[in-house]
Homo-oligomer: A and B are copies of this chain.
Amino acid sequence: MKTPAELPILMSQRSTLTKDLAISFLMQQGVENPDCLSLAAGLVDPETLPVEETLRAAQQVLATRESGIRALQYGTTPGSAQLRSELLTYFADLEKCSTESLGIDASQMILTTGSQQLLSLVCETLLDPGDICLVAGPTYFVFAGNLAGVGARTVTIPSDDQGMDPAALDHALEQIASMKELHRVKLIYAVSYYDNPSGVCLSTSRREQIVEIAKKWSREHRILVLEDAAYRELRYDGEEHPSVWSFDQERANVIYTQTFSKTFSPGIRVGFGIVPKDLVTAICERKGNEDFGSAHFNQKLIATVLRSGEYQGHLAKVRDGYRLKRDAMLAAAQKYFSDLPGVSWVHPKGGLYVWMTLPESLESGFDRPLFSQAVKHGVMYVPGELCYAGPVEDRPRSQMRLSYGVLPVDLIDEAMRRLADAVRETQSARTSNDVSS
């Protein structure tokens, strides 16, 4: 007979749906291969981290006992009133309008532990098992994990160099409607600026079209667009796009989310969401159950750097730094990959990622020769197949997400050289196998 300690723990069904997103495998690889240059890590550039700015903000927040006490006490579940009000001004600046003409109030602004928590809260609040979310292919793999974790079904909409294709979106909804499944469609998810992983920025006209399509197919209930604007401020060149949210005049069909993790500090971990009025209570009640409020002190730090203008100054430096690194990666891609037939890549105008497509015969997954060859050469990437929702067998297999976030310029060049070598060797090993077999 088993002792109590030997008996199994029975997990919830929720828990069995939740997977670890293969990130732990990558981290493990990183630990086991400390000399590996990582084009996989989604970390931000350590050089950009605002050590002095944060210290000054902390000194200011804690300068008097009165202000210190306020910051160190519990906040409220939706977050600091001061930061929420600062964010209205900040967001109006981004939208190039007055706070009044935003047409929302501070109660619709919800502060979270990174924007990730907002994404998770939205899934928990809206999606039952079997409900449908439409996503671009490829899409943000952590969000794909959130969808799987609540048992949602995903429908992948093809995406090109302008982002998610509205015609395909409309067609997919038409098909869903014809299968009498429209009542299960709750969400359309779009990383609207410099997509993770594809680097693509949704074109302005498509932004408007996506909102129109969401409204058009809102027949018995509202279909919401979840706009993930995590990379909005990491624009290095090209057009400044209005948000998807801005095309929703009624402020009823789009949930907007953004974070200060990429542009300021992920260790401070402040994100926010702007939600339709009639979603506020449900999101806050859910957040109340999860943690009844993210760290109030951190919200005060962000409010301080926004108010003082330190944030804006810091952001300009961050952008300049990443622009150089983006350029370095594109130059290295040109240098090392342009003679490889069938290899192409996206030229991102912002964000942290270059999305590279290899010939179909060169699969990039963890269990494929290319990945081992890359690790052997001392470089790592995120296999593209991880960045799709839905059944594994339907996913493209020969893509890679290459991040220029962490490495300095010279090592970006070196990492790309190693990766090209790995691609070349894997390809010639394949060819000689083909010949010998």
Whether B11 pairs with A289 at a CB distance below 8 angstroms is no
Interface residues of chain A, those whose CB is within 8 Å of chain B, are 3-5, 7-15, 18-21, 23, 27, 43-44, 46, 49-52, 54-55, 58-59, 62, 65, 68-69, 71-76, 112-114, 116-117, 120, 124-128, 131, 142, 145-146, 149-150, 183, 186, 214-215, 218-222, 224, 250, 252-253, 261, 265-269, 276, 278-279, 281-282, 284-286, 288-298, 300
A278: chain B residues within 8 A (beta carbon): 8-9
Complex CA distance for A219 and B112, rounded to whole angstroms? 41
Known contacts A49-B68, A252-B4; decide if A291 and B15 are in contact (CB<8 Å): no
The 23 listed contacts between A and B (C-beta, < 8 Å) are A4-B253, A8-B278, A9-B126, A9-B279, A10-B221, A12-B150, A15-B124, A20-B281, A44-B73, A46-B69, A54-B62, A54-B297, A55-B68, A58-B59, A72-B265, A73-B267, A74-B267, A116-B292, A120-B290, A146-B289, A149-B289, A269-B291, A294-B295
**Residues in B whose Cβ lies below 8 Å from that of A131:** 12
A23 touches B73 (CB 8 A): no
Beyond contacts A9-B278, A114-B291: 10 other A-B pairs, Cβ-Cβ < 8 A, are: A12-B126, A27-B76, A49-B73, A50-B72, A51-B69, A74-B261, A74-B266, A112-B291, A142-B288, A269-B296
Q: Determine whether the beta carbon of A291 is less than 8 Å from that of B73.
A: no
Interface pair A113/B253, CB less than 8 Å apart: no
Within 8 Å by CB of A253, from B5, B292, B294, lies B5
* Closest Cβ–Cβ distance, residue A192 to chain B (whole Å): 20
A266 adjacent to B72 (CB under 8 Å): yes
Which of A7, A65, A215: most chain B Cβ within 10 A? A7
CB-CB under 8 A for A7 and B220, given A50-B72, A51-B65: yes
Task: Report yes or no: B285 in contact with A18, Cβ–Cβ below 8 A.
Answer: yes
Interfacial chain B residues near A12, Cβ < 8 Å? 124-128, 131, 150
Query: Does A125 contact B15, Cβ atoms closer than 8 Å?
Result: yes
B117 touches A290 (CB 8 A): yes
Does A72 contact B55, Cβ atoms closer than 8 Å? no
| Closest residue of B by beta carbon distance from A47 | B69
- Using CB atoms, name the residue of chain B closest to A217: B4
Q: Are A14 and B125 in contact (CB under 8 A)?
A: yes
Contact of A55 with B58 in the complex, beta carbons under 8 Å: yes
Q: How far is the CA of A400 from the CA of B106 in the complex (A)?
A: 34
In the complex, the chain B residue whose C-beta lies closest to that of A145 is B289
Within the assembled complex, what's the spacing in Å between the Cα atoms of A268 and B296? 7
Residues on B with C-beta less than 8 A from A288 are: 20-21, 23, 142, 145
Return chain B residues, CB-CB under 8 Å to A74: 43-44, 261, 266-267
Q: Is the CB of B266 within 8 A of A10?
A: no
Query: A51 contacts B23, CB within 8 Å?
Result: no
Of the candidates B52, B286, B297, which one forms a contact with A265 in the assembled complex, judged by CB atoms under 8 Å apart?
A: B297
Question: CB-nearest residue of chain B relative to A301?
Answer: B297
Min CB distance A287 to B, Å, is: 10
Chain B residues with CB below 8 A from A300, complex form: 267
With a CB–CB cut-off of 8 A, which chain B residues contact A266? 72-74, 296
